[in-house]
Structure 1
Amino acid sequence: MHVNVPYTLGVSSPAPEQAGACVNPQVYQPTIANLDVQALPHNPYVLDSIEKGLANIEHNMGKINLLDDISRSIDLMNKRLEGLDERVKATEDKVKNIESSTEFLSTKYDDIRKDVESVKENVTKTERSVLKQSSDIKTLTDENAADIKDLMRKNEKMKETILDIQCRSMRDNLIFSGISEQANENTELVLQEFISEELDIDEEVRFERVHRLGPPQDNYDGDTAPRPRAIVAKFSSYKQRELIRRFGPKLKGKHFGINEQYPEEIVNTRKILLPAYRDAKKKKEKVRFVTDKLYVNDRRVYPEDVQTPMEDMPTDEDDREGPTPGSRENVDDRRYSRYDYRTGAQRTTYRGNGRGRGRGRGRGRRPWRR
């Protein structure tokens, strides 16, 4: 006997054709919600089938939900893939730019390498040329070494000859310093009066030339007047020149000076030899200057033999020592020799209080000092 139970999808029940009835799904669609529980048979087998059908439905619903999650995940992955595609495209563009830059750098490198090779080639050529020129110069030097040495010897000899001529041209000269100067003066007459009054020489002294050294001064009187220019005199007679020079010690205690004139080379040599001269004088040895030659105990001292500390080197502000050639050697400590670069003279000065009988000097006037 069959119970007339409506057919429900997913419920274990006899098929409609087995139940002896046809169900039109367009007319009636049974669901679990409108299932009449009271109409269900009280058969454990049927209930069990219904429960299994419900479980199957729930299982299928879970699969459907899982499919929805998968679909959403796929959509998210698609979006990410789209972003990844954009980044890949941007990366490809960057790679293309890098490749283009690399090609440019490669081209530049090739150009630079060619330039470097060209420079190396030019340097090699230049080195070869320099070596050849050096070899030629060495050959010429070796060939002309004897001629060069001969020319050097002749040059040195010529220098010595010129220096000797300069010394001979100054042999009759004396330089007088400290003599007061007046505007429009007769310099030769001033010097004659100086020799007569200060040196007590009454005989007539004859000169070839007498003049002041340096340009004229702007003013000659007053405390602001510059020191008088030195007078250089060329004597007509060497004997008279020596007579005047030997009277130099009479100027002791006064601000006048009588000096021999030398070329600058000789004066520089004498300055180098001065420390040795001073040392020999302190030791009371026999010492003398002959032009630019120094003799200690009749043995010549050369400039290269003199070791002069820097603090002992003579300067324009230092007092100089040492007699002029041919002068007396018993010199007072207050006498000093110095080279006047303005006048070109080796000056020996006797310092004093400035109270002499010289022409044009006021009483008590202080002597000039350099």
Structure 2
Amino acid sequence: MSVESNLPACIACMYEGDLSYLDLDTGRIFSAAREHDTVTLTSSEFDTLMNKFDMLQTNLEKIANIEKCIGKLDKLDKLDAIEISIKDIEVKLYDKDHRFTSVEKNTNALESTAQFLSDEYDTVKKNQSEQNKQLAEHSKTIHDLSTENQCLKESLMDIQYQYCQIKTQLLDSKCREMRDNLVFTNIDEILNTNAYGKQYENTENVLSEILSARLHLTDIKFERVHQC
């Protein structure tokens, strides 16, 4: 097939009467006014044109693949950003876990302290209950002792009253028996010691000496002398 053309090796198209074409060597787009209605190419030129068209298609596919790779790289960047965010979240979670562990330890310590205080409170409460019980027993004992003491006081007062009555009666009896007797009072006690080391008082001699010295009475006979 014999064709004639003044255009370079290109892909041509028509738009509103102008001829636009893509230079396969430079990759630039040109436009020119259409001069002929038909374009004539030789077989070799057509093959060259098809080869360049295949190369262009291959380049376009490579560009598409590159764009896909760029998209994947964008996705990888996003994945890196997501990984960074995940690591940041992991760090925050670790920090929160550490804080939670610290709070848990503090909580356990507080629970142990609360349990210790509860046990101490139970012990104090038990001791207080026992002390209250002992106090009640002591109060009862004191009340019984007070009652017994009051009874003893009353008994003692009764004994003292009876003693006074007996003493009065005894004194009255002595006075009645001693109507013919003389009673000497306020005489100092003079003690002597016998052969066995026992102390005694010779009341008759003491009375005789007093009567002789103070009243000048001698040769007095006593029927019986005794110390009251």
TM-score band, normalised by the shorter chain? 0.3 to 0.5
Greater relative CO, 1 or 2 (CA 8 Å, sep 6+): 1
Larger Rg: 1 or 2?
A: 2
TM-score, normalization by structure 1 = 0.25
| More helix by percentage | 2
